[in-house]
């Protein structure tokens, strides 16, 4: 069986049982329900270091691709807590995962590290990938395994408020992008990994992770000029949340939009209570403790049934303060300084292909080196298969110093 066929089978099995979402919310940065106790590792210390990407603490962890660990590589796996800066400029602690193959790097120069932004996990702390990896239930393990097989190190953030204190600021462009860049810095500074500040860097993500990786590549030259970023692979990027919300409403993945509203309300300290009815408030209380596995709890929920005035969320996003917040999350407004491969399926039922194409076109208009790879994989979940498969030769070429041939003229 070919690598692509094997990957397709593994991905479809894993993703079918894991991709999910949840529903809407109300109050701002204050959680509607008390957060359950989290492991002591994830607690933020009283004082944070000054430098972004500084490792606060780390510990060895078990990395399982599946519950039986039937196919995983032997590797150096560590859970990290590191310092980053959120959208407001506040210093925060974010958790993440650093994975390094034990096999020596045989390529030119030092071992590359991939800043791997995860897709939707949920809102509860227990959903954090750095916790789920040890339970063998993290679907991103499939794509990560492919990178480790190539000899790359992988650094994955849990994002703000996912695993650590506070509400996960889902879809906050700046917070997610910075968390991704800073987990790479943390990996390079972590002892025992063989990584250093000279390690070449790649950025990668799909869906929510595509948005985070795309934000990271836009921010890299100004926020993290010390990183030697060579390129980025971003798939099914939710670059325009207003258009994505309209597509999602009332569908199987309607909770994507609800997550975004809740996460952005937390980031921008907006009280959603006046905009929700009793059902919306009750849904919010449940959502903050849901993970991706809880998809069916809120599938096919129409946002108008949760709003105070009976209008859908897409209408709410057209008025202030929400309009300015949603506009601020637009991806494609800053020029990436390194080559970017954009993957997207024309059959994506969750994030419209037109949204990803418009982002790529916008980058092209600013002079960026962009290649849009269009596929016809079935639905949103299926699009991850070609995304992972195309990322591997892309990174090999970039780390070897081979330039990308842009197809901006076709977009």
From first to last of the 411 residues of the chain, give the pLDDT tens digit.
443 443 444 344 343 333 333 233 333 444 555 667 789 999 999 999 999 999 999 999 888 766 666 556 657 899 999 999 999 999 999 999 999 998 888 888 899 999 999 999 998 899 999 998 888 778 898 889 899 989 999 999 999 999 999 999 999 999 999 999 999 999 999 998 999 999 999 999 999 999 999 999 999 999 999 999 999 999 999 999 999 988 888 888 877 877 888 899 999 999 988 999 988 888 777 777 778 777 667 788 888 999 899 988 888 888 999 999 999 999 999 999 999 999 999 999 999 999 999 999 999 999 999 999 999 999 999 999 999 999 999 999 999 999 999 999 999
Contact, 74 vs 55, CB < 8 A? no
pLDDT of residue 279: 87
How does DSSP classify residue 276? Answer: B
Contact, 119 vs 127, CB < 8 A? no
pLDDT of residue 14: 40
Largest Cα–Cα distance of the chain, in whole Å? 61
pLDDT of residue 293: 77
The H or E element that residue 59 is part of is: strand 55-60
* Burial class of 401 by CB neighbour count within 10 A (0 to 12, 13 to 18, 19+): exposed
Rounded Cα distance between 21 and 16, Å, is: 13
Query: Could you tell me which residues come within 8 angstroms of residue 16 by beta carbon, excluding any fewer than 6 positions away?
Result: 381
Q: What are phi and psi of 184, to 5 degrees?
A: -65, -45
pLDDT of residue 33: 55
Q: Which of helix, strand or coil describes residue 146?
A: helix
Contact, 329 vs 359, CB < 8 A? no
pLDDT of residue 17: 35
pLDDT of residue 72: 60
CA 367 distance to own-chain centroid = 25
Query: Could you tell me which residues come within 8 angstroms of residue 362 by beta carbon, excluding any fewer than 6 positions away?
Result: 332, 333
Alpha helices in 250-383 (DSSP H): 255-267, 278-287, 313-316, 322-328, 353-365, 379-382
pLDDT of residue 251: 86
- The CA distances from residue 399 to 42, 111, 121, 187, 392, in Å, are 34, 10, 30, 18, 11
Supply 312's token pair. Answer: 């859908």
Domains plus CATH for the chain?
A: 3-241+326-410 (3.40.50.1820)
Rounded Cα distance between 147 and 97, Å, is: 14
């Amino acid at each position: 069986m070919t690598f692509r066929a094997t990957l397709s089978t593994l991905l479809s099995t894993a993703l079918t049982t894991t991709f999910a979402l949840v529903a809407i919310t109300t109050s701002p940065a204050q959680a509607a329900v008390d957060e359950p106790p989290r492991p002591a590792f994830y607690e933020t210390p009283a004082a944070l270091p000054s430098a972004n990407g500084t490792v606060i603490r780390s510990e060895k962890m078990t990395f399982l691709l599946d519950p039986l660990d039937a196919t995983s590589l032997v590797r150096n796996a560590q859970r990290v807590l590191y310092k980053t800066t959120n959208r407001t400029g506040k210093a925060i602690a974010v958790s993440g995962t650093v994975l390094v193959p034990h096999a020596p790097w045989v390529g030119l120069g030092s071992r590359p590290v991939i800043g791997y932004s995860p897709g939707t996990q949920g809102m509860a702390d227990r959903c954090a990938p750095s916790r789920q990896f040890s339970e063998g239930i993290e679907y991103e393990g499939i794509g990560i395994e492919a990178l480790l097989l190539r000899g790359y190190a992988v650094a994955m953030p849990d994002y703000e408020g996912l695993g650590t204190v506070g509400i996960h600021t889902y879809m906050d462009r700046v917070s997610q992008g910075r968390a991704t860049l800073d987990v790479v810095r943390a990996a390079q500074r972590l002892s025992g990994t063989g990584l250093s500040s000279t390690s070449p860097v790649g950025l990668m993500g799909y869906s929510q992770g595509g948005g985070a990786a795309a934000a990271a590549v836009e921010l890299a030259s100004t926020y993290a000029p010390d990183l030697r970023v060579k390129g980025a692979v971003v798939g099914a990027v939710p670059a325009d949340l207003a258009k994505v919300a309209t597509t999602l409403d009332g569908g199987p993945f309607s909770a994507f939009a609800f997550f975004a509203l809740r996460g952005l309300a937390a980031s921008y300290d907006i009280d959603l209570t006046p905009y929700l009815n009793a059902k919306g408030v009750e849904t919010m209380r449940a959502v903050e403790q849901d993970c991706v596995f809880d998809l069916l709890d809120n599938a096919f929920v129409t946002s108008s049934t949760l709003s105070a005035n009976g209008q859908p969320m897409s209408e709410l996003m057209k008025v202030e303060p929400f309009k300015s917040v949603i506009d601020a999350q637009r991806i494609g407004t800053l020029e990436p300084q390194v080559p970017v491969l954009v993957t997207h399926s024309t059959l994506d039922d969750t994030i419209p292909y037109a949204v990803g194409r418009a982002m790529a076109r916008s980058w092209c208009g600013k002079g960026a080196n962009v290649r849009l790879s269009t596929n016809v994989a079935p639905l949103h979940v299926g699009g991850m298969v070609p995304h992972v498969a195309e990322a591997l030769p892309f990174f090999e070429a970039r780390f070897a110093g081979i330039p990308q041939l842009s197809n901006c003229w076709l977009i």
